[in-house]
Amino acid sequence: MKVLHIMKKHPAANTAPTVSKKPQRQPPERIQKLLAQAGVGSRRQIEKWIVEGLINVNGEVAKLGDKITVRDDIKLKGRVLKLEGKLQVETQVLIYHKPTGEIVSKNDPEGRPSVFKRLPRLDAGRWIAVGRLDLNTQGLLMFTNDGDLANKLMHPSQQIDREYAVRVMGRIDEAMLERLVNGVALEDGTARFEDIHESGGEGVNRWFHVVVAEGRNRLVRRLWESQECKVSRLIRVRYGSVYLPPGLPAGHHKFLDKKEVKELKRLTGL
């Protein structure tokens, strides 16, 4: 535990001559870390831009591992990035009740509606989606202006729970549920539900609540499909410590308060 020692000034200290100190310069940081802190994007997205050659530092194409400061001339896709003011911005997190039919992308060649069109405008930085939900999935989607927080919340090493309410069509028995909890082989590796419990319905159309601890694409649907069951409705109701408020209509958002944001940072070790 760090201990802060505070020393009282002796009255005579007031007569000492004033010594001006130059402000300390910020040490260089890895480019993806600094840009993420400024809300330019998540670390994963920034690394993708670097690999694609879309970021320039002082007139040269950036490389993974490069270090920068706010004093460097940084451009993303030819647009100048001014980082200094953005690094002082308070972390904001909002939760959005995504309806079906919206995509989690800013640009879509097919012209489908985007979740980003519904979000409030930020004075500085940009909204970063914490994970994704596919077109036909609704429910809790988080956004933040803090790229470091977004990266931590999405990183596989964090093993953060995602809980879904899912309506399943098919013949389901205890042996199947046991297989889904113990792990089944998918095309991209073994996966499983951390928890599963029934929550209503009869016959071949039943509701379950399931928990996964990773964000692989369409993971909940693929796990059920591996057992020859069809998902007819899928709603994310929790991400880590954040729940979808029962009274929040689809297409609407709500900001987390400072205490809730602090809990998210604690959860991720920031």
* Euclidean distance between CA atoms 83 and 96, whole angstroms: 27
What's the one-letter identity of residue 197?
Answer: H
Beta-bridge partners for 80: 75
* Residue in the structure block whose two tokens are 């004093």: 71
Tokens of 100: 């079906």
* Euclidean distance between CA atoms 124 and 258, whole angstroms: 18
Beta-bridge partners for 238: 163, 243
Under DSSP, the state recorded for 130 is: E
Question: Would you say how long the chain is, in residues?
Answer: 270
Q: Which of 134, 188, 195, 257 is catalytic?
A: 134
- Helix (H) or strand (E) segment spanning residue 47: helix 43-51
Cα angle value 125/131/136 (rounded, 5°): 120
Known catalytic residue at 146? no
Is the distance from CB of 103 to CB of 112 less than 8 angstroms? Answer: yes
Tokens of 117: 């069109």
| Residues annotated as catalytic (active site), given as ranges | 134
